[in-house]
Structure 1
Amino acid sequence: MSVLWRTYLLVTLFFALVTLLGLLLLLRQARDDVQREVQAAEAVVEYLYEAAQRDPASLQSGLTGSLRHVRVQWVSAPFSATGLSSEQWLAQRLFSISSTPRIVQLADGRQLQISVDPTDEIDEVWDSLLQLLLLCLLALLISLLAIRWAVRRGLRVLDELLGGLQQVTQGQLNARLPAHSLPEARQLAGYFNTMATTLQQVQADNGELTQALMALQERERAQLGQALHDDLGQYLSGIRAQACLLQAVAQQPEQLRLTAQHLDANCQRLQEGFRALIRDLYPVVLERLELDAALQLLCANWQTAQRVPCRVLLSRQLPSLPLPIKAHLYRLVQEALTNVAKHAQASEVRVRLHCQGQRLRLFIRDNGCGAQLPQRPGIGLRSIQERARSLGAVLYLSSRPQAGWALCLTLALPEPVT
């Protein structure tokens, strides 16, 4: 059953209950009114009965014919009790009316029957009940029409929303809801359109990030191949040539010594190249050092390479972190320092890592050129944001022109296992 028909059923049941209560209240009031009228009519019947016994001629037809709730009949045949009519039976059932006709025996053999007749009052009650029923029926029809109009209007908005959600589910993120005159529908359409715009922007950002990561991957592969071919391959060729030279100058001590020195230098450069290559591919120091020592080494190497002072402030007692968390934090600091080197034009960088209760706070600030926020983040900042989200941390970035950049990351530490 649809929402509209369920609403129809509930409203109809409500109106039926209200109508039933109204009928019961009206019947209760009508019963009291009819009983009062009947009591007054019985007093009139008693008076007419006594007057007819004294002087039957005093009961003129013009007088008795206009009496309310009293019926006077001239009966030529002897009176005999018959069954109750439908109106009398209904009067007894609903209004507890039971009245016995009074019979006056005249000298000429005729009989005069005087009785209470509440037919007019009962007809008025039936008219009131019928009016109440018609009024409730009309109110029900108007209510159902109003509900149909309102629900149809709301369902139209809901259908548009479901259609838009279906388009979004199918990947059509350009779906938008039209504006409506209803404030609620207009607000709902605004929220949906904002959501679709955000999803479309996120999809575009993800596509751009994917393309950037693929390009970065290709550059890293090209750099790795170039390093292996031009640098490491060259040293290996030199080592091989010097090894052949050693065999040729085995009887020349001085030449042997110089060749051994060149061979040792080439091996050292080859080892340094391999270490730098491995360090770029994976921070092996994290497996041997804690995060504070690894960050100090990272900042020291960055300071030496960039010739920019980098101050590192670390808490004395930092907790021991799992390797994935250490790797994310290490790469995040590395990416932040790379951004400073590429864009900040800074003369000083400060890195601070401290622990407050069960929260670890990382703060990185430079005194470079800065930028006006908000602005669309680049690949580096998006990489930092993704790492913060992977950690479940709260990241805050702030910057102003000529005031540098500030990065603050708050990470909730896992509870220690007892």
Structure 2
Amino acid sequence: MSALWRINLWVCSFFVLVTVACMALLVHQALADVERELQSAEAVVEYLSETAERDPVSLQPRLTGSLRHVRVRWLEPGEAAQLPVQAGLDAWLGQLMFAEARHNAQVLDLQDGRRVQIAIDPRDEIDEIWDSLQQLLSLCGLALVSSLFAIRWAVRRGMCLLDELLWALQQVSGGQLKVRLRAEGLPEARQLAAHFNRMTATLEQTRADNTRLTQTLLAVQEQERTHLAQTLHDDLGQYLAGIRAQACLLRLAMDQPETVEHTARLLEQNCEHLQQGFRALVHDLYPVVLQHLPLSEAFSLLLEQWQSRQGIAFRFIVGQPLPPLSAPDKTHLYRLLQEALTNIARHAEASQVRVRLQHHGGRLRLFIRDNGCGAQQPQRPGVGLYSMFERARSLGGKLRIISHPGAGWALALSMPLEVS
């Protein structure tokens, strides 16, 4: 069942209940009114009966024909007295409203030889009550029809908006993010269209950013592979080729001690360079230092190496002893600090960096700040900032980046800790 039909059913049920309640109230009020009317009619019947017995001439048809709730009927000789017979709804309403005892008629034999029947006739009262009930039913029916038409008109307008929204959502689910709703009509419709259009615009921009970041990540991946291949081929490969050549030379110059000694020294140097190259390559691929040192000492070593390469002074502050962290969490924190230092070296133009790592209140906080030139925060973060935000999200924490022109950059990470 559609929403419109359900609303119509509820409205009809409400109107039926209201109509029944009004009819019950009307009948209840009519009972009190009928009681007063019949008491008056009984008094009229008694008066007419006494008057007719004393003075039959005074009981004229032209005087008694317009009486309300009282019927005076002249009987022919031998005619039996009977009450008016009612059928259908009038009979049901008469039984409901009037007591049977009050339907008894008085038959008088007048002194002039005529016979007359004087009785209470409830038909006038039944007609009045029936007219009131018909007016009530007509009024409720007219109100119900008007309400249904008004509801249909209003619901149709709302359904048109819902149909348009459903169509737009189907387009969005199919990947068509350029769809927009028309901002017109009711204020609610305009607000809905505005929120939907902002949502689709955000989704479209997010998809464009993801596409751009994916392309950038693929380019960075290719650059890393190219750098790795060049390092293995141009640097480590040359050392391996030199070691091989020197080993062959040793075989040929075994009877020349000076040549053997010189070649051995060269072999030792090449092996040392080869070992350093492998260490640097492994460190770029994975921070092995995290397996052997606590996080604070690994941070201190990273900052010292970065200072020796970039020439930027640092100040490292560590709070109370840190609880043990899992290997993935340590790696994320290490890489986040590494990426932040890389951004400072490339863009900050700073001469000093302050790093604070502390544990307080069940949370781990990392704060990094430089004294560089600063800048307005970019609306669309690049790969570096995006990777830091993703690492903070993986840690279950929140990363805030604050920057103002001339005031440097500040990076604050707060993450929960499970202390055992």
User: TM exceeds 0.5?
Assistant: yes
Show CA shifts across 1:175-228 (max 9, x none).
211112212221111111111111111111111111011001110111111111
Corresponding residue for residue 57 of structure 2:
57
Structure 2, unaligned stretches of length 5 or more?
none
The answer (yes or no) to whether the contact 1:388–1:395 under 8 Å persists in 2 is yes
Corresponding residue for residue 96 of structure 1:
98
1:113-128 → structure 2 map (5 Å cutoff): 113-128=117-132
The answer (yes or no) to whether the contact 1:368–1:404 under 8 Å persists in 2 is yes
The range that moved more, 270-279 or 291-300, is 291-300
1:5-404 → structure 2 map (5 Å cutoff): 5-82=5-82, 85-86=85-86, 89-90=91-92, 92-97=94-99, 98-373=102-377, 375-404=379-408
Show CA shifts across 1:359-381 (max 9, x none).
00011111111111353212111
> Which residue identity does 1:226 align to in structure 2?
Q
Show CA shifts across 1:225-266 (max 9, x none).
111111001111111111122223322323322221111111
The answer (yes or no) to whether the contact 1:349–1:367 under 8 Å persists in 2 is yes
> Which residue identity does 1:162 align to in structure 2?
L
Q: How far apart are 1:108 and its partner, in Å?
A: 4.8
The range that moved more, 184-193 or 218-227, is 184-193
The answer (yes or no) to whether the contact 1:315–1:355 under 8 Å persists in 2 is yes
State the alpha-carbon separation in 2 of the partners of residues 414 and 157 from structure 1.
Answer: 49
State the alpha-carbon separation in 1 of the partners of residues 8 and 158 from structure 2.
Answer: 15
Q: 1:328 to 1:52 in 2, by over 3 A?
A: same
State the alpha-carbon separation in 1 of the partners of residues 395 and 216 from structure 2.
Answer: 22
The answer (yes or no) to whether the contact 1:352–1:364 under 8 Å persists in 2 is yes
State the alpha-carbon separation in 2 of the partners of residues 365 and 378 from structure 1.
Answer: 19
Q: Percent identity?
A: 59
SS in 2 for 1:174: coil
Q: How far apart are 1:14 and its partner, in Å?
A: 0.3
Q: 1:189 to 1:405 in 2, by over 3 A?
A: same
Q: How far apart are 1:96 and its partner, in Å?
A: 2.4
The answer (yes or no) to whether the contact 2:83–2:103 under 8 Å persists in 1 is no
The answer (yes or no) to whether the contact 2:106–2:119 under 8 Å persists in 1 is yes
The range that moved more, 342-351 or 46-55, is 342-351
Q: How far apart are 1:413 and its partner, in Å?
A: 0.9
**Structure 2 length-normalised TM:** 0.95
State the alpha-carbon separation in 2 of the partners of residues 78 and 108 from structure 1.
Answer: 16
Q: 1:393 to 1:139 in 2, by over 3 A?
A: same
State the alpha-carbon separation in 2 of the partners of residues 79 and 324 from structure 1.
Answer: 116
SS in 1 for 2:306: helix
The answer (yes or no) to whether the contact 1:34–1:122 under 8 Å persists in 2 is no
> Which residue identity does 1:67 align to in structure 2?
L
> Which residue identity does 1:253 align to in structure 2?
P
State the alpha-carbon separation in 2 of the partners of residues 44 and 294 from structure 1.
Answer: 117
SS in 2 for 1:68: coil
State the alpha-carbon separation in 2 of the partners of residues 173 and 140 from structure 1.
Answer: 44
> Which residue identity does 2:96 align to in structure 1?
L
The range that moved more, 106-115 or 201-210, is 106-115
Q: 1:101 to 1:91 in 2, by over 3 A?
A: farther
The answer (yes or no) to whether the contact 1:173–1:196 under 8 Å persists in 2 is yes
Q: How far apart are 1:92 and its partner, in Å?
A: 4.3
State the alpha-carbon separation in 2 of the partners of residues 326 and 266 from structure 1.
Answer: 34
Show CA shifts across 1:334-393 (max 9, x none).
111111111111111111111012100011111111111353212111111111112221
State the alpha-carbon separation in 2 of the partners of residues 114 and 304 from structure 1.
Answer: 129
Show CA shifts across 1:266-307 (max 9, x none).
100000000000110111112222211211111111111111
Corresponding residue for residue 4 of structure 1:
4
The answer (yes or no) to whether the contact 1:76–1:109 under 8 Å persists in 2 is no
The answer (yes or no) to whether the contact 1:34–1:118 under 8 Å persists in 2 is no
The answer (yes or no) to whether the contact 1:31–1:94 under 8 Å persists in 2 is no
Give the CA RMSD over aligned residues: 1.6
SS in 2 for 1:67: coil
The answer (yes or no) to whether the contact 2:253–2:259 under 8 Å persists in 1 is yes
- What number of residue pairs does the alignment pair up? 416
SS in 1 for 2:333: helix
Q: 1:91 to 1:375 in 2, by over 3 A?
A: closer
State the alpha-carbon separation in 1 of the partners of residues 93 and 336 from structure 2.
Answer: 94
Q: 1:41 to 1:194 in 2, by over 3 A?
A: same
The answer (yes or no) to whether the contact 2:56–2:112 under 8 Å persists in 1 is no
**Structure 1 length-normalised TM:** 0.96
State the alpha-carbon separation in 2 of the partners of residues 91 and 366 from structure 1.
Answer: 96
